[in-house]
Amino acid sequence: MRTTGKIVGASALLLTVAACGGNGTVAAPSSSASPPSSSVSVSSPPPSSSSVAPPPTSAPPNSRPTQGVPPGDTSLAPEQINASALPAGYPHDVTLAEGGTVVVIQAEEGGCDKISAKAGEQTATQVVVVVTITKPPHGQMCPMHVREISLPVRLAAPLGGRELVLKPGP
């Protein structure tokens, strides 16, 4: 009979510990049986490897940061960019990539608006890039969100010291 009491008490203790989530706290058994004569030590399990955050992964090779000049790109001097023909709201944040053979326009595209850019006339003194914003048909419902995009425009030759002229497209 005394062994049965110990088994019932130990079982109640284990059930209580399991119900507490094994967090190291031990509650008194709720039965009227006598407490077990031996003590039970409960310790927290060591943290599992799944609870540790994985190390940050590097960005994909073709991704570009959304702020600042991307690594490997160069900024243009403000006097080398002529964006005077662009209406308000058109992007004019420009960097050069791939040794100056690619002009990259950083822009914000929102809702159903689509922004595109293409190379225009390229002379010995200037390069024209045509920037076009396509609006949705009147009355079309569009989501209210803004996304950062990069518009790469490949040139026939590196920009070098030539003036970059940004013009609005049709």
Inside any domain, residue 112: yes
Residues 88 and 147 in one domain: yes
Residue 78 and residue 160 in one domain: yes
Residue 13 lies in a domain: yes
The count of domains in the chain is 2
* Range of the structural domain that residue 11 is part of: 2-45
Residue from 3, 166, 2 nearest 90 by CA: 166
**DSSP for 10-46?**
HHHHHHHHHHTTTSS--PPPSSSSPPPSS-----PPP
Q: What angle do CA 145, 150, 155 make, to 5 degrees?
A: 150
Residues 41 and 85 grouped into a single domain = no
Q: Do 40 and 84 have their domain in common?
A: no
Asked if residue 135 and residue 80 are part of one domain, the reply reads: yes
Answer yes or no: do 78 and 155 share one domain: yes
* Residue 110 in domain: yes
Would you say residue 60 lies in a domain?
A: no
Is the domain of 40 the same as that of 79?
Answer: no
- Clarify whether residues 94 and 163 are in a common domain: yes
pTM for the whole structure: 0.58
Per-residue pLDDT of the chain (170 residues; tens, 9 = 90+): 566 656 666 666 555 655 655 454 455 555 554 555 544 444 444 544 444 544 444 444 455 555 566 677 888 889 999 999 999 888 889 999 999 999 999 999 988 999 999 999 999 999 999 999 998 888 889 988 899 999 999 999 999 999 999 999 98
Q: Tell me, yes or no, whether 19 lies in a domain.
A: yes
